[in-house]
Amino acid sequence: MADVDFQDDLPLDLFQNFITDEMIAMVVEQTNLYSFHKSGKQVISIDMKELKQVIGIYLMMGVVCLDSQRDYWAEATRIEKIASIMTRDRFHAILANIHFADNLDKNIQGDKIWKISPWLSKLRNQCLLASPPTKYSSIDEMIIPFQGKFSKIKQSVK
């Protein structure tokens, strides 16, 4: 098995190795479906391009950190590369409706993380395909101390 070298790939190429158009299309479909179920009509209608823009905005927000999401569109602190892509209200409307699985699908509701399980399964498969284990692969596990009382998934780390 050949070693995978990501050094020469552009950031977009790296992203597309892990997040495929099929996975984006799945989120678009579920988001539009959720919007329809919530209101009885198609309130928010997004496409793959718009969802990719939301992801891109989120990634940019991780690089240029401001106190509030609204600050990226505010006049005094406006970040043109973000604000020119999409309006603040549209961005927040998409985030309010984003879904990864159908809420009405009873087949997947037994899992504690059923709302994202189908998508996570695809992500896991992509990670295995994009970065297969090599002779010198290493796995490092680090969990921060946490005792949550609101999570359905109980995890206690000393």
pLDDT for 6-46, tens place per residue?
556 678 888 888 899 999 999 999 999 999 988 877 778 99
Pick from 126, 135, 134, 136: nearest CA to 14: 126
Tell me the pLDDT tens digit for each residue of 57-115: 999 999 999 999 999 999 999 999 999 999 999 999 999 999 998 888 777 666 778 88
Q: Check the CA dihedral 69-70-74-76 and report its sign.
A: negative
Neighbours of 126 (CB within 10 A): 17
Pick from 153, 46, 62: nearest CA to 96: 46
Q: Check the CA dihedral 74-88-61-53 and report its sign.
A: negative
Residue tagged 């009509």 (tokens)? 41
Rounded to 5°, the CA angle 28-29-35 comes to 90
For the residues 104-133, what does the mean pLDDT come to? 82
Burial class (CB in 10 A: 0-12, 13-18, 19+), 23: middle
Amino acid making up residue 122: K
